[in-house]
Amino acid sequence: MGSLDKKFKIGIVAGEQSGDQLGASLIQKIKEIEPSVEFVGVGGPQMIKEGLNSFFDMEKISVMGIVEPLKNLKEILSLRKGLKEYLINQQIDLFIGIDSPDFNLSISKYLKKRSIKSIQYVGPSIWAWRQGRIKTIEKSVDEVLTLFPFESNAYKGSSVHVTFVGHPLAHLINKQDKIDKRSNKKIVLMPGSRKSEILAHGNIFLETAKKIKKYDQGFSFHMPLVDESHINLIEGLKNEDWIEISIGNAKEVLKDSSMGFVTSGTASLEAALYGTPVVVAYKTNWLSYKVIKPLLRIKNISLPNILSEKELLPEFLQDDVNPESLLEGFKIIQNNYLNCLKDFERIHTSLLSDGPNTAAVRVLEIIDS
C-alpha cells in the first residue's frame, strides 16, 4: 500500500460524537498510508481537524430514537438529498458511512447504484434488533467493518462481506496506563452527547448525585459536556457549585474517576476500557421505546454487559431511570468493584485486533480493487 495510481477522494459521513471519533482515527490512519487521499462529507470537530471538508454541521443529524428524528424529518431528508448530490458532484471514489445506519444506508444505496463502492464502518446492530435490515445492507454496501468479534455471526448466509477490525478505543486506551482509583472518590456524570439525551438524563443524574452526597459527603462530582450550550439544558445546574462542569474533556475525566453514571452507548465501553465501573441508563421517547422493545433480540443494552454475557454493570431503562434506582445501582458497583475490573480486562483483550490500521488498510484495498 502507499502507491495508489491516482489521487483518490473518499466521501465519509458520521452523525454523532462517537462516529466523529472513529472517523478521525480512520482518516488519520489512511493519511499515514496515503497522504494524498481527500475526504469530503459530514463530520464533527475531530474529523474536520484531520482534514475533512464537512458539507454541513454534524449536529443537524445527531438525533436518537424513532420518534425524535420524525420531529426533524423534513430537514433531515432535505440534508440527505443535498448530501447525495454533493457527493456525486465531488466525484468521490468510495463512500464510508460511519454508524448512523438509518441515515447512511440510503446514501450508500444511492451511490452504489451509480457504481460507487460503499463501506459501512460500524455494522448496524442487527445482532440486537431489526435483523430484517440485512437485505437493505446487502443492496447498499460492498463491505461492513465491525468493531466486535461476535457480529460476523449475524451476517452468515448473506452476501455481505464482513471484516472484524477491532475497536479503536481498545488501542487508544493503553491497558498498562490504568491506575488504581478506588480511593479517589471521584464520580463522573455523563448524560450523553446529544441534546435529547441530556434533556432525558441530565437532571436525573444531578439528583442522583445529590442523594450520594447525602449518603457519603466524601465524594466529588464532575460532569464533562460536549458543548457549552448543553449546560443550559440541565435546569438544576444553575445554582450548584459543588459539581465541576467542564467542556470537551470527557475522556480525561472518565479515566480519572473511580465510578460514574453514563448514558448507554460508547461511553459505557469507554468506561470499561478505562477501568471505571459505571451505572448505565437509557431513557428515550416513550413511543420510540414502545416500537423498539418488541424488536430487541438481546437481554442487556450496554456494551460491557453484552461482551461479558452477563449483567456486569447495573442497567436502568425508561421509568427505572430515576434517582432512587440509580443510587441502588451505585451501591451495587461499590460492592462488585474488583469483579468489574477483572471483567473489564477480559473485554479489553477481546477487542484488540489491529484497530484503525486494519480498517484503513481494508478501505484502501477496496479502493484499489
Q: Is the pLDDT of residue 289 over 80?
A: no
**Which residue reads 432512587 in cell numbers?**
324
Predicted confidence at residue 93, as pLDDT, reads 96
Q: Is the pLDDT of residue 32 over 60?
A: yes
Predicted confidence at residue 301, as pLDDT, reads 80
Predicted confidence at residue 188, as pLDDT, reads 97
pLDDT digit string, tens, across residues 294-321: 445 567 788 899 899 899 999 999 999 9
Kindly report whether the global pTM for this prediction surpasses the value 0.75.
no
Predicted confidence at residue 127, as pLDDT, reads 46
CA distance 364 to 94: 10
Could you tell me the three cell numbers for 331? 451501591
For 313, which DSSP code?
A: S
CA atoms within 13 A of residue 139's CA, in its CB half-sphere: 10
**Which residue reads 445492507 in cell numbers?**
137
Predicted confidence at residue 74, as pLDDT, reads 85
Q: In what order do the strands lie in the sheet with 186-190?
A: 243-247, 220-225, 186-190, 259-263, 278-282, 315-317
Q: Is the pLDDT of residue 174 over 70?
A: yes
Could you tell me the three cell numbers for 96? 464510508
State the greatest distance between any 2 C-alpha atoms of the chain, in Å, as a whole number. 66
Predicted confidence at residue 42, as pLDDT, reads 96
Q: Fold match between 9-166+353-368 and 175-350?
A: yes
CA distance 247 to 227: 6
Q: What's the angle, vertex CA 13, arms to CA 61 and CA 264, rounded to 5?
A: 60
**Torsion angle in degrees (nearest 10) through CA of 128, 130, 132, 135:** -80
pLDDT digit string, tens, across residues 71-90: 678 888 999 999 999 999 99
**Which residues are paired to 20 by β-bridges?**
none
CATH architecture, domain 9-166+353-368: 3-Layer(aba) Sandwich (3.40)
Letter for the amino acid at 80? R
Of 144-148, 298-302, 321-325, minimum mean pLDDT range: 298-302
Q: What sign does the CA torsion over 333, 339, 342, 348 have?
A: negative
CA atoms within 13 A of residue 107's CA, in its CB half-sphere: 35
Report percent pLDDT > 90 for the chain. 58
Fold exhibited by the domain 175-350: Rossmann fold (3.40.50)
Predicted confidence at residue 364, as pLDDT, reads 93
Q: Are 274 and 260 in contact (CB under 8 A)?
A: no
Q: What are phi and psi of 117, to 5 degrees?
A: -65, 150
pLDDT digit string, tens, across residues 229-272: 999 999 888 788 899 999 999 999 999 999 999 998 889 999 99
- pLDDT band of residue 223 (cuts 50, 70, 90) is very high
The beta strand positions in the chain, using DSSP E, are 9-14, 38-42, 53-54, 94-98, 117-121, 143-146, 161-164, 186-190, 220-225, 243-247, 259-263, 278-282, 315-317
pLDDT digit string, tens, across residues 86-98: 999 999 999 999 9
**Which residue reads 464482513 in cell numbers?**
162
Domain boundaries, the chain: 9-166+353-368, 175-350
Q: Is the pLDDT of residue 64 over 90?
A: no
CA distance 105 to 136: 8
Predicted confidence at residue 340, as pLDDT, reads 94
**Which residue reads 448524560 in cell numbers?**
191
CB burial of 139-175 (b: ≥16 within 10 Å; e: otherwise) equals ebbbbbbbbbeebbebbeeeebebbbbbbbbbbebee
The arithmetic mean of pLDDT across residues 100-128, rounded, is 87
Of 59-73, 100-114, 165-179, 313-327, minimum mean pLDDT range: 59-73
Average pLDDT of the chain to the nearest whole number: 87
Q: Is the pLDDT of residue 129 over 50?
A: no
